[in-house]
Structure 1
């Protein structure tokens, strides 16, 4: 199949498609799961946003371009928190778009419980959940 014959999917359609495989969580649900030790929050926002808006206490900060390498339990560059494929990962971006794509990518690595925070960091903050300065 030539490049011209390949189907084209716009980002909105792709986002809708990947979200069908995610059990997205709301801010309070994410807070409760992380507080109970049942989920790992992973903040993929870039440094300027973290510096501007703050951090979610206890969240693992991983730049988006390193996410798969840091969370692959079999990877040579994995974070200590990446213990196994059963890990419940909740990916957090700024507004809940890039995190959906990132969570779908983690699912492709076998992290079948990976999902994302609906509304991202902005929804977390709007819900009045804890935020610390970067």
Structure 2
């Protein structure tokens, strides 16, 4: 999913498309986190964070649980705890799909939640490989791998 205009990264949030605060570029999300304005919540599964990589300091709170991708019954309590300091939330998943659903749920709970466009890995390229067309890692933002 492109989040730019003429190759320039968006440095302002876009309005959410139904039920959450909006969409932000990975760069803007990281700027907010560094400034203490937002808390980064990684809604990918524990397995994804363990095997693919994670953002140091992010709160790992799966939206769905692997295997089987069942809804995480602890999500509501966890996302409320993540927002306990009053900051807005920026939600990250693999490609920016689950994080929209999670942002909508967080908003239903009365929280200010944003989806991070492109996710951690970005969109697949013509060979169906991720990591080459956008995403947190692609933009050189902090991450680690076990």
Tell whether the 8 Å contact from 2:39 to 2:83 is kept in structure 1 after alignment: no
Residues 38-57 of structure 1: pairs in structure 2 closer than 5 A: 38-57=37-56
Deviation at 1:116, TM superposition (A): 1.1
Match of 2:76 among 47, 68, 73: 68
Q: TM-score, normalised by structure 2?
A: 0.68
Tell whether the 8 Å contact from 1:19 to 1:100 is kept in structure 2 after alignment: no
CA distance in 2, matches of 1:30, 1:82: 15
Point out the structure with max Rg over C-alpha. Answer: 1
Structure 2 partner of 1:109: 109
Unaligned runs of 5+ in 1: 1-17, 73-78
Aligned residue for 1:106, secondary structure, equals helix
Residues 5-20 of structure 1: pairs in structure 2 closer than 5 A: 19-20=17-18
Q: TM-score, normalised by structure 1?
A: 0.73
Aligned residue for 2:31, secondary structure, equals helix
- The RMSD of aligned alpha carbons is 1.6
The superposition leaves residues 41-90 of structure 1 with CA deviations (integer Å, 9 ceiling, x where unpaired) of: 00011122112221111101112112211122xxxxxx3x4316x43001
CA distance in 2, matches of 1:124, 1:38: 18
Indicate whether 1:96 and 2:108 are aligned.
Answer: no
Tell whether the 8 Å contact from 2:120 to 2:136 is kept in structure 1 after alignment: yes
Aligned residues: 108
Structure 2 partner of 1:15: none
Residues 11-30 of structure 1: pairs in structure 2 closer than 5 A: 19-21=17-19, 22-30=21-29
Deviation at 1:20, TM superposition (A): 3.5
CA distance in 2, matches of 1:45, 1:121: 9
Runs of 4+ in 1 over 3 A off after TM superposition: none
